[in-house]
Structure 1
Amino acid sequence: MNKHKQNYCRIYDDLARQAASWRSAWKELGAYLAPTRGFFEENFSNRGQKIDHRTLIDSDPLLAVEVLSAGMISGLTSPSRSWFALEITPAAAREVPGAREWTHSVKERLEEAFAGSNIYAALHGFYQEIAVFGTAAMLLEEDGKELLRARLFTAGEYVLGCDENGRIDRFGREFFLTPNQMAAKFGLENLPPQLLRAVQDGKDTSWHRVRHLILPNPACDVRYKNAAKMPYLSVYFTPQGEVLKKGGYWEFPVIAARWEVKTANDVYGKGPGWKCLGDVKMLQKMQKNKLVALDKITNPPMMVSSGVQGEVNLLPGGLTRYSGAADGAVKPAYQVNVDLSALESSIEKVKATIKAQFFADVFLMLSTQNFANMTAAEVAERHQEKMLVLGPVLERLKNELLDPLVERSYAILTRRGVLPPAPQALQGLSVGVSYISLIAQAQKATGLAALTQGIDFASRLAAVRPDVLNRVDFENALEQGLTMLGVPPGVLKSRAEVSAGADRAAGE
């Protein structure tokens, strides 16, 4: 085995050892909160997974996960409305003629690419993974037909690694292929001898493990356009270290996000599922106890006298013969007295706790809220507390999910030549991303309320001293307010257009 083979196996094994201490917790979380997710040692490719309904008696926790996932989709990355906008930096360059139109057309092209791909379907599962396991990952690659293609992974299926700043920059996974599938993916000439013989002999019923590793390329040199010099190296190899294929990526193609991390050294995160697992277990036990109590009430254990002749008939209208003293021949062994109303009340309290841990109340409130019929102050008052709780999580998702998703997609579409060319005056300038989703609006509502109150305060002072309004930049206030409301920047005319219109009006 050569040095490169040893390195790839060693790197993967190091990442796998780090993930090993998390696997038992992921497995338990999956059993109680996501029975169709998670991929562990006993799982195998292309086989169904049995759900343990003796453990999952109450499905409310699973519904809470679905509500959070659906809420994140509709509130953060809705496929039916704009959730991001592009801005030129520095801000002064936004007044360049054609700048607003260009950023708007690029955003529309990105939205079309998202809608035409499987990204939104992958995001739905992504939010479920991060809610239950605390970490989620998907691979975003170029696609010949749809431009973009996402591949979602599940807990236990992949391993991650971080750089010195805590940013995820290494990814590995182990999956299964048949010999023919390996030949199609990697080429016959790249298969090890034993797999090549399996293809030639027509033995295509067995599954073989393949490892995929993506990591920073130590030989990176952007002056060269070949895969071996790209910033990130992609290697497929067998568990024995035999390299099947090598390639590269211009950007880190794996979008991996954590709900929250407890320490800077944690590669994997912890989410709502970690916090409420005890409540979920308690709920399932309480429901089981309730069913046992109902069973004993409706079909209690019986005590049968020795004077009973033949079998005891417990069916409605059934007849049991008895010869003996006057006391009853068949009667309950003991009296079952269960306060079902108190038990139901306790169960509902536990359900409410689980729903609160998954922010079900927040997302249901946001999804049914009509911002158009509310003032900015009302929006801020109703949502400020909820958004404060979600704030750190949303900021992490912005940095680890939304920014990489838009930036990687922008880079892919640029290389494919499907984005409109930037105006000459904007060449070399940076393009930033701002978010105008439902949740982003709710977060900005507090700032909008403050802006509105400030303008109102200035107007009241103007009743006494009109000259104070000269200190207020109303155009900037209008732009800031519309941005907070999520209004597309293209609605506003540039300052140059306004000035030109004023000059024409004066000339007429």
Structure 2
Amino acid sequence: MTDSLQNETDVKTLLDHQRMMEGERMLYEPLWRELDERVDPQAAGGFDKRTPGGDRGNGNFDATATTGLDNYTAAIAGLTIPTGQTWASLTTPDKDLNKLPEVQRWLEHANDRLFACRYAPGAGFEVQATADIRQGGKYGTAPLWVDEVVGRGLFYRSIHMSEAWIDLDFTGRVDTFHRKYELTARQAAQKFGRDALSDKMLCCLTDDNPAKQYEKFEFLHAVRPNGDYEYGAPAHLGMPDMGWTIAVDEKALIRKLGYHSFPVPTSRTIVTPGATYGRSPAMKVIGTIRVLQEIAKTMLRAAHKSVDPALAFFDDGNISRLATKPGGFNPNLVDEMGNLLVHAIPGGGDLSWGLKVQEEERQVVRDAFLERIFQLLFDPTDRMTATEVLERAQKEGLLVGPYRATQETEKLAPMTTRELDILMRARQIDPMPPVMREAGVRQPVAEYQNGLARMARAEEASGFMRLVEITAQVSGFDPGAADHINFDRAVPGVAEVLSVRPSWLNSPDEVAAKRQQREQAQAMQSLTESAPAMAGAALDLAKANDVAAAA
């Protein structure tokens, strides 16, 4: 088959698949539009195209969900990708290989370079990763584009779900990504080059009317597995993923590229059986969010009636007007006996019941957006024992466990794979040592040390603290009970779970030096305490020798 015929076949296949994917995603779009309005009204773009800078969210009377999304974004970002921390380290699946000094040095070097490039000012990782987490809290599905700009380094971009469609492989993981977007003819020439443009785009660029170059065109970018992939093969055959860019209206192939790694790690916040797209905390409590809006409207009406009630009177014959403003003058509103002729109509009801129901419903939304995590992070713990702190962390870790698993499996792991692939091919990371290549290691894997991972391990630390407390009680009957505990291993492990800075802990050499000093001090003290007895014994021995000599 010639290249031209193959390209036509590819374009037809991809556009047909796009129509199928649009039909599937269409079922989610009404709910996503409502979430835009109720949960994130200030978000730009989205499924409803709006005028930039326009007034949004006027139909919202309760802001619990809006602030909840902000809190969720901050909590998940702080627990998974905490700023200023090395929240992951590189390792290999072979524990014996990890013990070799040259392997340890290379893994440390690779991890340092990875974080330096990821957090470079031009990469935009923190901004885009935060937007990605926010989108996961709202829509439940969040694609993040990870690629490179030659000569500049890595770059990241959170793709809005209004532009994105996904499909899954047989294991249930995202392996296909489609994106529809618009570019002007001028922008398309900058992105793809003039030679790649369609005839209509070239006409716009060369038209005598300069405004024609700003005419917009719709493009489809499709990334999917390479059906002809063969490891080690040259050119496109050796790339596991392929990408096509198509001019939709003209059905013309603009560009075809291969990828050594999947460029769009896509996470789904809550994965449900049989569903392609994820569910979000906002989707989980959308019914409660609707109820809160109605409660807020009712409470506002009731409060309005209470503070500005309607007026009732028997006959308006002598009442020309009512001045309800402060200091207003109202003639003919009092009879000869001094009784008011106009009365306020009782209304508003008992607001306390409404406030109680409102607070109960708000707590449901707060729990869905992980506000308990904020309580754990910011509530004072100075009046709690260490065991109580750890047990609380363990309970909260149960809440975030599902989020940790999906975030690591569907976002952080493929993102790290993509980043390492780009950096190692660009020689931003030194080549692996021969021993790693001989062991068949193609690429290291990440071991996560962020807050979510530590919360998931909190049970280990709390269990150890309970063991220490029980052992301390048992030691009153059996002094050897504590001999079963290896504090040299346990204390550093608990410190890691509690996020203690490594610089606050002594190194093994420093610990050994302290123990040696303590042993020397104890020996000196023992010698000092036994000196009088030894002197007395020496004196007695001398006297005995004198008596024996005299005899």
TM (normalized to structure 1)? 0.86
Q: Which runs of 5+ in 1 are unaligned?
A: 499-508
| 1:15-40, Cα deviation, whole Å (9 max, x unpaired) | 21111111111111221111234855
Give the share of equivalent positions with the same residue, in percent.
21
Distance in structure 1 (CA, Å) of the matches to 2:364 and 2:487? 46
Query: Which residue is 1:436 aligned to?
Result: 449
Query: Which residue is 1:504 aligned to?
Result: none
Distance in structure 2 (CA, Å) of the matches to 1:323 and 1:335? 19
2:349 corresponds, among 335, 338, 344, to 338
Give 1:355 shift.
0.7
> Would the alpha carbon gap of residues 280 and 472 (structure 1) be closer, same or farther in structure 2, given more than 3 Å must change?
closer
Give 1:213 shift.
0.8
Is residue 65–residue 282 contact of structure 2 (8 Å, CA) maintained in 1? no
> Would the alpha carbon gap of residues 407 and 286 (structure 1) be closer, same or farther in structure 2, given more than 3 Å must change?
same
Query: Which residue is 2:376 aligned to?
Result: 365
The reply to whether residue 318 of structure 1 matches residue 328 of structure 2 is: yes
The reply to whether residue 87 of structure 1 matches residue 91 of structure 2 is: yes
Give 1:377 shift.
3.2
Is residue 307–residue 329 contact of structure 1 (8 Å, CA) maintained in 2? no
Query: Which residue is 1:74 aligned to?
Result: 78
Give 1:216 shift.
0.8
Question: Greater CA deviation, 78-87 or 185-194?
Answer: 185-194
Give 1:151 shift.
0.9
> Would the alpha carbon gap of residues 458 and 303 (structure 1) be closer, same or farther in structure 2, given more than 3 Å must change?
closer
Distance in structure 2 (CA, Å) of the matches to 1:223 and 1:122? 33
> Would the alpha carbon gap of residues 243 and 374 (structure 1) be closer, same or farther in structure 2, given more than 3 Å must change?
farther
1:34-433 pair list within 5 angstroms: 34-37=40-43, 42-43=48-49, 47-48=52-53, 50-53=55-58, 55-116=59-120, 117-144=123-150, 146-201=152-207, 202=210, 203-227=212-236, 229-240=238-249, 241-263=251-273, 265-303=274-312, 305-308=315-318, 310-322=320-332, 330-332=342-344, 334-367=345-378, 377-427=387-437, 428-429=440-441, 431-433=444-446
Give 1:146 shift.
4.7
Distance in structure 2 (CA, Å) of the matches to 1:489 and 1:176? 49
> Would the alpha carbon gap of residues 425 and 419 (structure 1) be closer, same or farther in structure 2, given more than 3 Å must change?
same
Distance in structure 1 (CA, Å) of the matches to 2:16 and 2:340? 76
Give 1:391 shift.
1.3
2:28 corresponds, among 1, 22, 39, to 22
Let me know the Cα RMSD of the aligned residues.
3.4
> Would the alpha carbon gap of residues 431 and 228 (structure 1) be closer, same or farther in structure 2, given more than 3 Å must change?
closer
Give 1:178 shift.
0.9
Is residue 161–residue 170 contact of structure 1 (8 Å, CA) maintained in 2? yes
Give 1:432 shift.
2.9
| 1:391-417, Cα deviation, whole Å (9 max, x unpaired) | 122112110112112221122111111
Is residue 387–residue 442 contact of structure 1 (8 Å, CA) maintained in 2? yes
Q: Secondary structure at the match of 1:262?
A: coil
Is residue 158–residue 174 contact of structure 1 (8 Å, CA) maintained in 2? yes
Q: Secondary structure at the match of 1:159?
A: strand
> Would the alpha carbon gap of residues 411 and 51 (structure 1) be closer, same or farther in structure 2, given more than 3 Å must change?
same
Question: Greater CA deviation, 181-190 or 314-323?
Answer: 314-323
> Would the alpha carbon gap of residues 228 and 408 (structure 1) be closer, same or farther in structure 2, given more than 3 Å must change?
same
Distance in structure 1 (CA, Å) of the matches to 2:327 and 2:476? 89
Give 1:145 shift.
5.2
**Which protein is bigger by CA-based radius of gyration?**
2
Give 1:425 shift.
2.6
Question: Greater CA deviation, 442-451 or 230-239?
Answer: 442-451
> Would the alpha carbon gap of residues 18 and 309 (structure 1) be closer, same or farther in structure 2, given more than 3 Å must change?
same
Give 1:250 shift.
0.8
Give 1:285 shift.
1.6
Distance in structure 2 (CA, Å) of the matches to 1:426 and 1:475? 31
Distance in structure 2 (CA, Å) of the matches to 1:18 and 1:185? 30
Q: Secondary structure at the match of 2:457?
A: helix
Question: Greater CA deviation, 314-323 or 280-289?
Answer: 314-323
Is residue 436–residue 486 contact of structure 1 (8 Å, CA) maintained in 2? no
| 1:156-208, Cα deviation, whole Å (9 max, x unpaired) | 22100001110100011111111111121122222222222111113134322
Query: Which residue is 2:525 aligned to?
Result: none
Give 1:365 shift.
1.6
Q: Secondary structure at the match of 1:156?
A: helix
TM (normalized to structure 2)? 0.79
Figure out how many residues of one structure are paired with residues of the other and give that number: 491
